[in-house]
């Protein structure tokens, strides 16, 4: 089954105002740059974005924040974006901060078809307020629900026309989990090959999870925090 679409604009064609979307990546590594740019061009608004982080001011989800397209951010780490901070403090942006492991597990639960999971992360803190608690073997756990996302948008290093994906290094952190979890999963790749062009033992996301795939272009691959050795 050929799942290839022409470009990012075609891939996100039916994303509409008010949708819940997952965006893969870790920091600025492995983020779906082309699809984010297409969403900015389309001008959809009132989005709920589930992502490990919120990009930086002029890159990644930060571009969508500049255009006031995001109504709510569900994230783990948001410390590199001044516009995010401004919108949060002014009350323009709803924010749900989640422990990073819980964020990953709620994605995983959605992909596995599990409605909820129990986790010790956040028990006894503000994170647990209003949530169901249970004790297992004398330890407190809180109930966290699986995410329900209309779309999952991921970025892979290589993919084939049937939607099988291979990620590279840090990009494997959240992309594979989110690829499993969306009702519709969109993948952009650096290298698109014909079916059979990938080593089956190297595939991280089977094509059954992917609905649309396209060859990405002009990746910037920025470094979020550059650390250099003293000369």
User: Each residue of 57-70: pLDDT tens digit?
Assistant: 889 999 999 999 99
Looking at per-residue pLDDT, the higher value among 54 and 135 belongs to 135
Q: What pLDDT is attached to residue 205?
A: 97
Rounded Cα–Cα distance for residues 75 and 149 (Å): 14
Question: Nearest 10 degrees: CA dihedral of 20, 206, 146, 46?
Answer: -10
Whether residue 80 has pLDDT greater than 80: no
Q: Which of 219, 218, 187 is nearest to 3 (CA)?
A: 187
Cα dihedral across residues 33, 159, 6, 186: positive or negative: negative
Q: What pLDDT is attached to residue 8?
A: 97
Rounded Cα–Cα distance for residues 190 and 195 (Å): 16
Q: Which of 52, 9, 56, 17 is nearest to 34 (CA)?
A: 9
Q: Tokens 């596995």 — which residue? A: 112
Q: How confident is the model at residue 28 (pLDDT cuts 50, 70, 90)?
A: confident
- Domains of the chain as residue ranges with CATH: 8-215 (3.40.1080.10)
Looking at per-residue pLDDT, the higher value among 28 and 209 belongs to 209
Q: What is the pLDDT of residues 105-151, one digit of tens each?
A: 999 999 999 999 999 999 989 889 999 999 999 999 999 999 999 99
Q: What pLDDT is attached to residue 138?
A: 94
Q: What pLDDT is attached to residue 212?
A: 98
CA of residue 26 relative to chain centroid, distance: 9
């Amino acid at each position: 089954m050929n799942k290839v679409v022409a470009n990012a604009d075609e891939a996100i064609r039916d994303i509409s105002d008010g949708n819940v979307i997952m965006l893969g990546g870790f920091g600025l590594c492995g983020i779906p740059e082309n699809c984010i740019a297409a969403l900015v061009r389309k001008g959809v608004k009132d989005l709920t974005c589930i992502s490990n982080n919120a990009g930086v001011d002029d890159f990644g989800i930060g571009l969508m924040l500049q255009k006031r397209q995001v109504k709510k951010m569900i994230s783990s780490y948001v410390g590199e974006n001044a516009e995010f901070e401004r919108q949060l403090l002014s009350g323009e942006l709803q924010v749900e901060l989640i422990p990073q492991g819980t964020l990953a597990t709620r994605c995983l639960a959605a992909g596995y078809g599990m409605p909820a999971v129990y986790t010790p992360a956040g028990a006894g803190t503000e994170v647990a307020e209003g949530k169901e608690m249970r004790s297992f073997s004398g330890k407190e756990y809180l109930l966290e629900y699986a995410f329900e996302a209309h779309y999952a948008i991921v970025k892979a290093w290589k993919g084939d026309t049937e939607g099988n994906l291979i990620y590279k290094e840090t990009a494997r952190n959240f992309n594979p989990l989110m690829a499993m979890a969306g009702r519709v999963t969109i993948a952009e790749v650096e290298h698109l090959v014909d079916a059979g062009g990938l080593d089956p033992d190297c595939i991280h996301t089977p094509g059954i999870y992917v609905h649309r795939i396209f060859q990405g272009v002009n990746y910037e691959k920025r470094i979020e925090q550059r650390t250099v050795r003293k000369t």
